[in-house]
Amino acid sequence: VTRPVIALLTDYGAGSEHVGALHAVVARACPAADRIDLAHDIPPGDVRRGAVVLARLAPLLPPGAIVVAVVDPGVGGERRGLAIGLHAGGALVGPDNGLLAPAAGRLGADRAWALPTPPGVPATFHGRDVFAPAAAALALGAAPLGTPIDPAGIVRPHLPAPRVAAGRLEATVLGADRFGNVELLAGPEDLAAAGIGIGDAVRVDPAGAGPVHAATVARTFSDVPSGALLVHVDSSGAVAVALNGGDAAARLGAATGAPLAITTAGGARPAI
């Protein structure tokens, strides 16, 4: 007999009482569940980052896992609540604001429901009051929870496509992790399309946020000297800029959502 799995992804902050409330609500409604903290440090309100991270992590979970995902700056407003049933079993539960769509796309969405907001529920904590209870009910085998809707109609996040030219890749900064790795909305196929490969000397231009920097396209941190910048395909399959032994985000000053360009040939601005 396997226990149900309920996984949590939020922007509530690790160790916050809001995360604790989700755990308590799930444990009370579904005591047998194995609760997994997927991520709680999504920057507040950054739906795009949450959506990308969720799409990476959800496929790693045990089959049948139910995910509660809450990055929900529009809570209490018009956006719908969603439960999405997945091909291989399991479900995604959260706001219909783009957060769930990439994971649903990757895992295959069978069915979806718009979740009702129970009367009398406070307007600002649907994680505790709507989504966690819905996930626990699903884990217990509850019948569909709301109004069936077309999975094709759920909101998708805005993920700007990279701009590729010979020797140049310009992409949007998704964000940075604790180590200061700057992740871009671009993959190895985009680097390849730009003709940029391992060993190339490149310039990294954070588009007005600061000076242009020299970097090397490499496989991993230790392929460049300590203190040097590298461009690599990170463990999630994204193009990223890192600093061996340091914090690339701090050095570059690259802001989440801003464009960043990687060029092989002499760019318009000199590198430092």
Summarize as ranges the residues that interact with a second copy (CB under 8 A). Answer: 2-3, 5, 7, 9, 11-21, 23-25, 27-28, 31, 34, 36-41, 44-45, 53, 56-57, 60-63, 65, 73-78, 122-125, 128-129, 177-179, 219-223, 232-235, 237, 245
Residue 15: Cβ within 10 Å count: 9
* Closer residue to a second copy (CB): 150 or 178: 178
User: CB of residue 29 vs a second copy: minimum separation in angstroms?
Assistant: 9
Q: Amino acid identity of 232?
A: H
Closer of 56 and 111 to a second copy (Cβ): 56
Residue number, 67 or 154, with CB nearest to a second copy: 67
Query: Whole-angstrom Cα distance, residue 211 to residue 270?
Result: 8
- For a second copy, which is the closer residue by CB, 78 or 150? 78
* Closest CB 189 distance from a second copy, rounded Å: 16
Work out how close the CB of 10 gets to a second copy at its nearest, in angstroms, rounded to a whole number.
9
Q: How far is the CB of 47 from a second copy (least distance, A)?
A: 12
Burial-class residue 247 by CB neighbours within 10 Å (0-12, 13-18, 19+): middle
DSSP SS3 for 136: helix
Q: How far apart are CA 83 and CA 67, in angstroms?
A: 10
At closest approach, how far in Å is the CB of 237 from a second copy?
A: 8
Grouping H, G, I as helix, E, B as strand and the rest as coil, residue 120 is: coil
Query: Considering beta carbons, is residue 75 or 138 the nearer one to a second copy?
Result: 75
Q: For residues 30 and 100, what is the distance between their CA atoms, to the nearest angstrom?
A: 23
* 168 close to 261: Cβ distance less than 8 angstroms: yes
What is the β-pairing status of strands 182-184 and 34-39?
A: unpaired
